[in-house]
Amino acid sequence: MHILDRIEEIVAAACLSVMTILAFANVVARYVFSASFSFSEEITTYLFVLLSLLGTAIAARRRAHLGLTILTDVVSPKVRRIFHIIGYLFAVAFTGAIFYYGIRMVLSQRQLHQVTANMQWPEWIFGSFVPIGALFAAIRFVQVLIEEIRETVEKGGEN
């Protein structure tokens, strides 16, 4: 999955770079020319959605998500692993639902010929960022879930 790692990181870096450049250019245009780019907020918002979902995937891959450890700190390692498996199952279900409903949203946007407010581009182009990002996140949560299950099986009855 090394290629998936690179895709996530490159797309996330590109999103962040474009967002930064657009926001900076818009601020300069506003203060120097007393006018702003009407499309910059629109593009920045859509890229933020993709960046957030890719960040979720990257954090899942690194097992770096924030978590509430009040319960897992006071239970045995075996129970802790079970809690992790349950949490990853919920994460897979949640990102799977975002993917599913994201696809439905994109199909609806195409069918209704919706366009963006400022640029008048087809809305489905940017709407597709939701299922694409959710797919990356779901793949990563499935990978981590499988790893967690393997570790639990390998450790067996250890406490």
Tell me the DSSP string of the chain: -HHHHHHHHHHHHHHHHHHHHHHHHHHHHHHHHS---TTHHHHHHHHHHHHHHHHHHHHHHHT------TTTTSS-HHHHHHHHHHHHHHHHHHHHHHHHHHHHHHHHHHHTT-B-TTT--BHHHHHTHHHHHHHHHHHHHHHHHHHHHHHHHHHTT--
- pTM, 2 dp: 0.90
Residue 1: pLDDT band by 50, 70, 90 thresholds? low
Q: What digits encode the pLDDT tens for the residues 78-94?
A: 999 999 999 999 999 99
Residue 156: pLDDT band by 50, 70, 90 thresholds? confident
